Structure 1
Amino acid sequence: MNIKFISYITLIFMILGCVGEEDIKSQIDNELNTLTTIDHHTKYLEKIVHKDQEGRKNSKKLLDQYGYESKEYNDAIIALRKEDELRLVKIERYLRKFGHPKKNKVGEIAASAPYLVIHHVGSSKGEEENNFEFLYNAYIQEDIDYGAFSFYLNRMYTRKYRKRHQIESPYKPEDEINSLIQKLNLADRTKKLKMDK
């Protein structure tokens, strides 16, 4: 197993085990207060994306090496979920402090961080729906693309209704987005956002 990965996982468990939730939030807020330039924002968000992808690649390697029901793979998945939860706290606090990152300022990778983290955490506590406004706004302002936003909405739809979203063909990308927003009962939240602008 990758020693660097194990060290990173151990550190996260130690942090989560020894430090209370409020302490973690306070540490994250202190981190966020150091983001004083666009370059700081870019590096912070790109690091989150890198760690998100690194954890998934490592768990995939363990799956390939040891198999689906193996202790190694299951331990890696448990650790990955803990990491995802920590990244979600970081992203949610970032979004509430700064709003969604602008792709034309921080770049495509950094601007994708909120979508990736929210999408990977899932909806055990309603994270997808709780962060809808941020991602909807990012989509409208072209900070995330149609593919990412439709994937996010489709996944939310599948989790909520336990079936895939169906739409009559042919359809335009915005038709699919609008259909999903209606069926997920999120239309009122988009209207409020449009009025706030």
Structure 2
Amino acid sequence: MRKVVLLVVILAFFSCKEQKTEDIATTVSALDSQTKKEAYLLSIFQDDQKVRDDKKEHEILKRNNFDYQTQEYKAYLKKVHITDSLNFIKIKTYLERFGFPDFKPTNELALHAFNTVLMHQPTYEKQLQLFPYLYQGYKEGKIPKEKFSFLLNNMHRHKYGKSYPHAKTDEENIKQLLKKLELISKSR
């Protein structure tokens, strides 16, 4: 009986995840104007920031004597991870459909969604899935070199567990990191 219940729970989880992915694809397909695209991207950025509440996190930890193993703190982290996973699917679906935006947003925070989602991915492999789109945005001048250099260093930290020693210029840093991370052939 326990196995049946467990199987039902697992099937329900995967069907809900599949449903969310289909809903996201439908939502992205309906983004037929710059205004809608910008609002969609801005909502992703805002969702990311809303779930990351330093004050709330500190209050939870303080209330639990800074014990990172409490159920309350784990629930907080789970909410963050769920938001990050959902935002990853949203951004990836957007990029697959439209590529990096070619419009100048009325609210610059809309474009921060891409950087933020990439940086909050737990693994280098997930970051790598977004990289070609961001690299294309960088090559087309849509992502400033400072931000792109920062993103590459974040990827380096995920892959190697430490920051890369920054070169004298962002251009040189980007060149070195693309080579070090073996991204040059993956970005063409």
State the TM-score bracket (shorter-chain normalisation): 0.7 to 0.9
1:100 counterpart = 2:97:
no
Answer yes or no: is the 8 Å Cα contact 1:111–1:143 preserved in 2.
Answer: no
Unaligned segments of structure 2, at least 5 residues: 1-11
Q: 1:25 deviation in Å?
A: 1.7
Report the number of matched residues: 171
Equivalent position amino acid for 2:38 in 1: T
Work out whether 1:185 is the aligned partner of 2:182: yes
The residue type paired with residue 63 of structure 1 is E
- 2:55 alignment counterpart: 61
Taking the aligned partners of 1:163 and 1:86, their CA distance within structure 2 comes to 27
Q: Which residue of structure 2 aligns with residue 81 of structure 1?
A: 81
C-alpha displacement of 1:46: 0.4
Report SS of the residue matched to 1:160. helix
Show CA shifts across 1:160-191 (max 9, x none). 222321255xx22100000000000111133x
Task: Evaluate the alpha carbon distance shift between residue 119 and residue 103 of structure 1 in structure 2; reply closer, same or farther with a 3 A threshold.
Answer: farther
Q: Which digits, 9 at most, give the CA deviation of each residue in 1:78-136, with x for residues without a partner?
A: 11101110111111011000111235246421122122112112316x11112111111
- 1:37 equivalent in alignment to 2:33: yes
SS state at 2:163 partner:
coil
User: Would the alpha carbon gap of residues 94 and 103 (structure 1) be closer, same or farther in structure 2, given more than 3 Å must change?
Assistant: same
Counterparts of 1:149 and 1:103, CA distance in 2 = 18
SS of 2:171's equivalent in the other structure is: helix
Counterpart Cα distance in 2 of 1:121 and 1:159: 9
1:175 to 164, 172, 177: 172
Given that residues 62 and 72 in structure 1 are in contact (C-alpha distance below 8 angstroms), is that contact kept between their aligned partners in structure 2? Answer: no
Task: State the TM-score, normalizing by the size of structure 2.
Answer: 0.81
Bigger Cα displacement from structure 2, 152-161 vs 103-112: 103-112
- From the CA coordinates, give the structure whose radius of gyration is larger: 2
Q: Deviation at 1:140?
A: 2.1
1 CA distance for matches of 2:165 and 2:143? 23
Cα deviation digits, residues 37-68 of structure 1 (max 9, x gap):
110111111011011000012xx223221214
- Report sequence identity in percent: 27
Residues 1:106 and 1:162: Cα distance change in structure 2 (over 3 Å): same
> How many angstroms apart in 2 are the aligned matches of 1:106 and 1:22?
33
CA contact (8 A) 2:119 2:151 kept: yes
Distance of 2:56 and 2:112 partners within structure 1: 26
Q: Mind listing any 5+ residue stretches in structure 1 that lack a counterpart?
A: 1-15, 193-197
Q: 1:26 to 1:172 in 2, by over 3 A?
A: same
What secondary structure is seen at the aligned counterpart in 2 of 1:104?
coil
